[in-house]
Amino acid sequence: MKVAVAGANGRMGRTLIEAIGTDRELSLTVLLDVTGVGSEIGGLKVTSDLASAAHADVLIDFTRPEGTLQHLKHAKAMVIGTTGFDEKGKGQIAAASKRMPIVLSPNFAVARFRWHVDSRSASCSRYCSERKSRSSCPRKPSSAPASAPVCGSACRNR
C-alpha cells in the first residue's frame, strides 16, 4: 500500500515515517509539509504540492485543521490524527467521508495510554505487596472472590 504522510517534519510525522519503513506491506510515497520543503527524509523529498497526495492509496495526516481540510480535496483515503476541528471542519470531514474512507482519531497517544495502564498496575501491585492482604485491597471489586488476584483482571485499578 502506498502511503503519504502530511506533517512529515513534525514529531508524529517522523515517527510514522520510521514505522512505515519497517513494514514490508507499506511503501512511503509522498511526504507533505509546509516546512522543510525540498529536504529529504528516508530518500524522499518533502513537498508542499497537495496534488501529490493522489499518488498514495492513503494519506496519514498530522497537521493542523486548516491543512487537513485542504488535504481532503486530494486524498483517496485518509487517517486523520489532527486535533482542534470546529463544527464546520467536522462537517467537511463527514461530507468527504461519503466519497472516501476516513479514520478520524485525534488522540494517537498509545505510549501515553500504555504508560498510564502500566503505572496504575504497578501502584496496585505495590499496594497489595505492602499490605500483604490481597483480600482487603480497596481496589478489588467487592464482587471478586477474596482469593482472586488483586492485580489481575478482577482489579478495579487495571
Is 110:19 a contact under the CB 8 Å cutoff? no
Residue predicted with more confidence, 149 or 117 = 149
CATH fold for the domain made of 2-104: Rossmann fold (3.40.50)
Mean pLDDT (the chain, rounded) = 78
Q: What is the pTM of this model?
A: 0.67
Condensed to tens digits (0 to 9), the pLDDT of residues 127-156 reads 444 444 445 554 444 544 555 444 444 444
What is the average pLDDT across 71-94?
Answer: 94
In angstroms, the CA 48 to CA 3 distance is 16
| 29: CB partners within 8 A, 6+ apart | 2, 3, 4, 44, 55, 56
Please give the pLDDT value at position 150.
44
As given in the structure block, the three cell numbers for residue 127 are 499496594
